[in-house]
Each structure stands twice: as C-alpha cells, then as structure tokens.
Amino acid sequence: MGRKQSYTESELLDITKRLVLEHGYDGFHLKLLSQHLPGARSTIYQYYANKEEIVAACMKRVITSVIEKASAIDETSPMQALQELLTVYVEESELHQLLGDAHKINVKNSAAASRDLDFVKQAHTTLKVQLTRLFQKAQQEKNIREDIPLPVLVGGFSNLINTPNMINVPTPQWSKLLFQMWMGGAQR
Amino acid sequence: MGRKQSYTESELLDITKRLVLEHGYDGFHLKLLSQHLPGARSTIYQYYANKEEIVAACMKRVITSVIEKASAIDETSPMQALQELLTVYVEESELHQLLGDAHKINVKNSAAASRDLDFVKQAHTTLKVQLTRLFQKAQQEKNIREDIPLPVLVGGFSNLINTPNMINVPTPQWSKLLFQMWMGGAQR
Amino acid sequence: MGRKQSYTESELLDITKRLVLEHGYDGFHLKLLSQHLPGARSTIYQYYANKEEIVAACMKRVITSVIEKASAIDETSPMQALQELLTVYVEESELHQLLGDAHKINVKNSAAASRDLDFVKQAHTTLKVQLTRLFQKAQQEKNIREDIPLPVLVGGFSNLINTPNMINVPTPQWSKLLFQMWMGGAQR
Amino acid sequence: MGRKQSYTESELLDITKRLVLEHGYDGFHLKLLSQHLPGARSTIYQYYANKEEIVAACMKRVITSVIEKASAIDETSPMQALQELLTVYVEESELHQLLGDAHKINVKNSAAASRDLDFVKQAHTTLKVQLTRLFQKAQQEKNIREDIPLPVLVGGFSNLINTPNMINVPTPQWSKLLFQMWMGGAQR
DNA sequence: TATGAATGAGGGTTCATTCAT
DNA sequence: CATGAATGAACCCTCATTCAT
C-alpha cells in the first residue's frame, strides 16, 4: 500500500511560489526546491512530471484563489467594490510578479502545463473584465473624472499594488491608504 | 593596428540591456547574447571578462544616463521638477526592472563588476536623495496633502513609472497624464 | 535504496593517482579521468565537487598510507629504522612527485580541498620530523660520518627514492641495494 | 626592411625555459609567455610556428649546451672526469626536469618540433654513453666497488643532481659535497 | 613585420530528468 | 513509492591559432 507521502502537493506549491518569487523562473531549480522539502530531488517527480508543470500548477493555484476572493465581492457600490478588490489584490500582490514569468514556461513539453497556463490566461481575463465592469459602473455613477482616459485610470489602479509598503502598515490599512491616494490625488 | 572590431562596446551593452530585460538575469546567457551579435560567443570576452562584468557595466551605463538627465533638472519649482523627473523616469522606465536583478550578480568573480555595482548603488542613493529633497520642498510650499504619510506619496509617485502605457501615447504626454492622475486623483 | 554506484571512491582515486603522475596536474582532465572510468564525465561530480577536491583527496589518501607505514616502524635501532623507512618510501616513491603539484591546486574554490591540503602539509612535516629524529639518533650512536653536513646526508637519503630501478629488482631488494650504496659509498 | 625585433629568439627561449620549469609543460601557455615578453601574443608566431616548436627548441638548446660542456671534459682520469661531469650536471640540473616533459609534446603538428626532439633524444644517448664509458674505465682502474651492480651505481650517480641544495652552498662546492657523499657513503 | 581581433575546440560545472534498486 | 546514482545537454570560460589591418 505504499509509503506515506512526506509532504502534500499543496506544501510543494507553497514552497514553489516562495522560491519563484525569490529567484524568478530561471533562478528556480528543482535542486533548490528539494532543499526546501524533505526527501530526494527525484521524489518531486512523483507529484509533477517536470519543472514546467510545477510552476504552471503553482500559478494556477494562486490565481484561482484570487478569482475566488474577487468574485465574492459585492459589486452593488462600484467604489466600495473597487476598494475591496484592491485589498484582495494587495493581499495577493505577488500574483502580478509571479505571472510575469508565465511566458518563460516552455509549454511544448507538457500538456498539463499548457492546460494550466490556459486556465491562468482565462482567469486573468475574467479579472480584467470585472475591473472594467466596475469602472464603467463607477463612471456611470459619475464617481470618476472624465478628463483622463479610462484605461489610464484602470492602469493606475492596477499598478497601485506594486507600491512598496515602506511604512509597514497592515495590509487592510495599506490598501485603504493606497485607495485614498489614488482617489484624491497627491495635491493638497 | 590589428583588426577592426566587429561591434562596439556600446552596441554590446545595448543588446545586453534588451536581453536582460526580456529574460531576466538568470535567463540571460552569453550564447543568447552572441546570437544577437555578429561573430562567435568567445569574441565577447574581448570586451568583458565574464558575464557578471557585462551585466554590471550595462547597469552602470543605464543609471549613469538617468543620473545625468535627472541632475540637469531645474529644481526651482518642486512640482514642475517632479513632473520633469517623472518624464525622465518614464523614458528610462526599464531602469527599475533592470536594477532589480542586481543582487543576483555574483561579485566574487570580478572586481570590475563589484566596482560597477557599487557605483550603481551610489547613484541609486543620489536619485532617492533628489526625490526626497523635491518632496520636502513641495511640502513646504504646501503643494502636497498632509493627511497621507509622505513615504506613501513618494512610493506612489515612484511606482507611477510601472504603469503600462496601454493607450500608446508618446512618452512626454504619457508622463503628463500620469502626473495629472497622481496629482488630482481619480475621483471626479 | 537508489542505484548501485558503478565504481567506488577508492577506484576513482586510484585512477586519479595514476593519471596525475602520468600527466601532471595541468594535464589531468576530468574528461581523461572519465575515460578511464565507466560512465559519463558528470557522474564524477557525485563523488567530488570539483577537480581540486579530487586531486587533494588523492594526495591526502596517498600520504596517509605512507604515514601509517612509517609510524609503524620500530625506531630502536636508527640505522635499521632508516633502512625500513627507505623501503616504505621506495614502495610509495610516487609520493614525492605527486605532492610536487600540490601548490598548483587552487584552493579558493573548495573548502574541502583546502582542508585536505592542510592535512597533507601537516603529514609532510610529521615525516620530516621522524627522519630528523632518526638521523640525530644515528649520529649520537656514531653511525654517521661527521665531515659532511647532516642536511646533505638527509637530502641524499631522501633523494635515493628517485633513483630509477633500471635493473628491475623487486622493491625490498632494491631498497636494500640503495641503502647499501648510500651507506658504503661507490668507492671500492 | 621592416620593424626592429623587440626581442631575440634566445630571449624567448630563456623565458620559455624558466616558465616550463615553473609551470610544467601543460601549465605553460603562450599567453603566459607573452606576458613575460614585450609585444603581443601573436608576435610569437613570427619566431615559431606553434607551442610545440617553442618548447622543443628550448629543450634542444639546453641539452646542446650540456653536451658542449660535457664533451669538453678531459677523460684521462675517470674519477676526476666524473666529478667534473657531476658539476656540469648540477649546473644544469633543470635539464632533467625539463626533458621530463618531452613526451608530452605532440609531434604530429610540427616537423620542426619532431626534428628537435629527435636531436634531444640523440644527445641524451650521447650523454649516457659518455657516462657508461667513464664508469667502465673507473671499474677497470678498480676505483669502484663491485658488489653493487654497475647500473645501480650509475643510477645513483645520475640521481645525485636532484638532491635539493638545502644549505645553499655555491654550485662547485655543492657538486664536490655530493660527489664525496656518493663516493664515501654516509657511514662513519 | 607587428598587432589586436576573431575563432573554434576543449575543459569545468550545473541541472532536469531517467533509471535501477 | 522513494531514493540516490547516472546521464547528456547546456553554460561559462580559456587558449592556441588565424586573420585583417
């Protein structure tokens, strides 16, 4: 009946996420991964067929969690929703960075990786659609200035999550600060 | 005497910059570099002693150019200066991304790389000092709101350069749009 | 668990010894080594981390064996002991040549190589101390002429091992012949 | 009428000799050589067609000089002649070490190197013949003990030159000391 | 002739992946 | 299943030698 697995798939992906963020896709080695897990390097192949699949699965898992949180948001009030959405994004701010390496994954080697990356792309689109929807609603409700093109405002909003939290405020307050700044501007 | 070089050091660094941005430090190989230059891989060693030195020299050159442009700015009016500085940063928006990999360069192999990276660090500090100076002046002149901590505003400003220019506006106008958004906020 | 190694560490070091003696340190390549072992070049890295470590380990092993044999000698009668010591040296006459390349090993790359070479140096000293001890005792017992400086006699003794055995006498007899010649001189 | 040569062939061979002794044949690079000569590395090819020829020419020159000195010795008294011969050998004691690497020279690349090495081999034989002749004469004159096989005595004599001169005596006296030790033996 | 640039072969090392136990 | 050994492809880098100026 076989030996007990010494770690779960989920643990494997957790470590993968951390290491890919730390070292980038090309700096992420299976040797490195195995050093952060019990057991031998080759054991990893019991879980995934190759490096590509590991990272793809990791990306899929991360974006799935974001999608779940984002789709749970009540969109009745668009501005309120945007604030909540920003909090979700800030909480998972690595998402952006992580997915930035998606294009490096060589998909020819593995159907599974290919499928996972397709899912990621799909999910990405879903998020963009939600964002656009919220912005359009906000605009209809006259909450948003019109002298700046909408895509610029959307881009600015999305880009907020990359702002480094230099003052180490807890995430929810950090998200509020960012939203406040984005909304009201820097000028007195 | 001797043969004519088949490409200049500057060309080499141009390509290096592009490739490091495209592939990251770990994805940047001398093989890749040589594929984008005429001649054999080993010819590269006529210019630099190793991979580390190439990338370090590249980073140095890029930040040097930014420093030059930034220090030419007239700081009399801080808000005006910030707008101009943003333009410089947007023009060289890869700087940030490029330098992000600086810590990956193994400096033990090469004194030259070490020197160049020290220079880069120094220059980085110089830029931060300029930015802080401008913000303080702006604050003194009551141009900047005070209910948001200054570091957040600074962070938000710096982070503007990462906003993707989705609408493909020419750089100067893009910079103006960003500045306008950052100053006035998104709210109507 | 895992596969069976296709050769032992000891076999690897045996071949290394032979090849370093044959080709010198600079002429000793891992490709050469792998050609004298089953399997691929990269397999060697299962045993040692780099070329330096291989040769250092080899030297350590050889001198360890000499130290063991030399320290087992009964030193009651110094002349008898010297004869036995010579036999040990002649048996391991490659030692000298092998260690001659020790200074070429770049120790910066590898702590293990550094440690092994320190051990070798230490052992070398131990051997010299023993030799000096025996000569002093022999001198006290008036077995050694005094019109020639002791270091010259010691040097001459040590150098005996390099005498090529042209007549292909078995080692113990060869050692006896050399000792006899060194003691009695060539003159009738 | 061309440019003035910046160094002579003889200087080139002098440096070569020193460097080959210092680094061994495989540790001897043309880059190293050119660093010890004025001018560019490629200039060396104005003197010799390749690395092999350089080293072969160097060996030839060294052994030629030994042959000259050795053949000038008056062989009337064999013991006297042996003492003088030893002095010559000690003076040129690097000869042995230098020629030890002769077999490493790949002769296929160069007819000139091949010719020079043949000459070296020939000269080597000439020296051995002289040595044998002197020993035979010494034996006939009853100067040499007969209980030890002649080749052993010859080998011992030849090997004297490798004795390290630890006490830093000037060469002629060193030679005398060695001869004395070899003749009379170590025993009181 | 002297030079510095260009080159390709070859050696060191790492790493994803496969294989035998 | 889990493991550790084996492998080959891919990189970095050096060096003898050739080539164009």
Confidence of residue A109 (pLDDT cuts 50, 70, 90): confident
> When comparing pLDDT for B99 and D186, which is higher?
B99
Q: Locate tokens 């390290």: which residue?
A: D164
Distance from C-alpha of D53 to C-alpha of D106, rounded to nearest angstrom = 10
- The average pLDDT across A46-71 equals 97
Among D183, B127, B90, CA closest to C148: D183
- All residues at 6 or more sequence positions from B128 whose CB lies less than 8 Å from its CB, including other chains: none
Q: Chain E bases under 7 Å from protein CB?
A: 1-21
pLDDT tens profile D121-173: 999 999 999 999 999 999 999 999 999 999 999 999 999 999 999 999 999 99
> To which H or E segment does residue A176 belong?
helix A171-184
pLDDT tens profile D33-65: 999 999 999 999 999 999 999 999 999 999 999
Nearest Cβ partner of A144 from B25, B144, B187? B187
What pLDDT, on the 0 to 100 scale, is given for residue D138? 95
- All residues at 6 or more sequence positions from D177 whose CB lies less than 8 Å from its CB, including other chains: C148, C149, C152, D169
| Nucleotide nearest C45 (Cα, C1') | E13
- The average pLDDT across A4-30 equals 93
Contact yes or no for C156 and D148 at CB 8 A: no
Confidence of residue A1 (pLDDT cuts 50, 70, 90): very low
Distance from C-alpha of A15 to C-alpha of D67, rounded to nearest angstrom = 73
State the count of interchain CB pairs (< 8 A) between C and D: 131
- Residue C167 with chain D: CB contacts under 8 Å: 149, 151-152
The long-range contacts involving A137-142, CB below 8 angstroms and separated by at least 24 positions, are A137/A75, A137/A78, A138/A78, A138/A79, A138/A82, A141/A78, A141/A79, A142/B188
In Å, how far from its chain's centre is CA B110?
23
> When comparing pLDDT for C12 and A6, which is higher?
C12
Tell me whether residue D46 is exposed, middle or buried, using C-beta atoms within 10 angstroms of its C-beta: 0 to 12, 13 to 18, 19 or more. exposed
Nearest Cβ partner of B177 from A26, A152, A163? A152
Distance from C-alpha of A9 to C-alpha of D57, rounded to nearest angstrom = 68
Tell me whether residue C87 is exposed, middle or buried, using C-beta atoms within 10 angstroms of its C-beta: 0 to 12, 13 to 18, 19 or more. buried
Q: Compute and round to an integer the Cα radius of gyration of chain A.
A: 19
Backbone angles phi, psi at C12, to 5 degrees: -60, -45
Distance from C-alpha of B12 to C-alpha of B33, rounded to nearest angstrom = 8
Tell me whether residue D116 is exposed, middle or buried, using C-beta atoms within 10 angstroms of its C-beta: 0 to 12, 13 to 18, 19 or more. buried
Distance from C-alpha of C184 to C-alpha of C178, rounded to nearest angstrom = 10
Confidence of residue C93 (pLDDT cuts 50, 70, 90): very high
**Interatomic separation, CA of residue D52 and C1' of nucleotide E7, rounded (Å):** 21
Question: How many other β-carbons are positioned within 10 Å of the β-carbon of residue A181?
Answer: 24
SS3 of residue B144 by DSSP = strand
Q: Chain F bases under 7 Å from protein CB?
A: 1-21
- The average pLDDT across A134-154 equals 93
SS (H, E, C) chain C: CCCCCCCCHHHHHHHHHHHHHHHHHHHCCHHHHHHCCCCCHHHHHHCCCCHHHHHHHHHHHHHHHHHHHHHCCCCCCHHHHHHHHHHHHHHCCHHHHHHCCHHHCCHHHCHHHHHHHHHHHHHHHHHHHHHHHHHHHHHHCCCECCCCCHHHHHHHHHHHHHCCCCCCCCHHHHHHHHHHHHHHCCEC
Chain A residues within 8 angstroms (CB to CB) of chain B: 23-27, 101, 104, 142-146, 148-149, 151-153, 155-157, 159-160, 162-167, 177-178, 180-188
pLDDT tens profile C111-160: 999 999 999 999 999 999 999 999 999 999 999 999 999 999 999 999 99
Among A23, A32, A19, CA closest to B104: A23
B162: tokens are 């990462």
- All residues at 6 or more sequence positions from C188 whose CB lies less than 8 Å from its CB, including other chains: D142, D143, D144, D145, D146
SS (H, E, C) A29-75: CHHHHHHCCCCCHHHHHHCCCCHHHHHHHHHHHHHHHHHHHHHCCCC
Give the whole-number percent of chain C exceeding pLDDT 70. Answer: 100
Nearest Cβ partner of B185 from A149, A167, A183? A183
- Distance to chain A for B44, nearest Cα, Å: 22
Q: Smallest Cα–C1' distance to nucleotide E3: which residue has it?
A: B2
Sign, CA dihedral C169-C173-C174-C180, equals: negative
D157 within 8 A of C132, measured Cβ to Cβ: no
- Residue C101 with chain D: CB contacts under 8 Å: 24
Q: Compute and round to an integer the Cα radius of gyration of chain D.
A: 19
pLDDT over threshold 50, residue A110:
yes
A113 within 8 A of A107, measured Cβ to Cβ: yes
Question: How many other β-carbons are positioned within 10 Å of the β-carbon of residue C40?
Answer: 9
Question: How many other β-carbons are positioned within 10 Å of the β-carbon of residue C91?
Answer: 17
pLDDT over threshold 90, residue C186:
no
Distance from C-alpha of C62 to C-alpha of B24, rounded to nearest angstrom = 47
Domains of chain B: 58-184 (1.10.357.10)
- All residues at 6 or more sequence positions from A46 whose CB lies less than 8 Å from its CB, including other chains: A5
What pLDDT, on the 0 to 100 scale, is given for residue D2? 45
C73 within 8 A of C67, measured Cβ to Cβ: no
- Where helices occur in A141-170 by DSSP H, the ranges are 150-159
3-state helix, strand, coil in chain D (%, to 5): 70, 0, 25
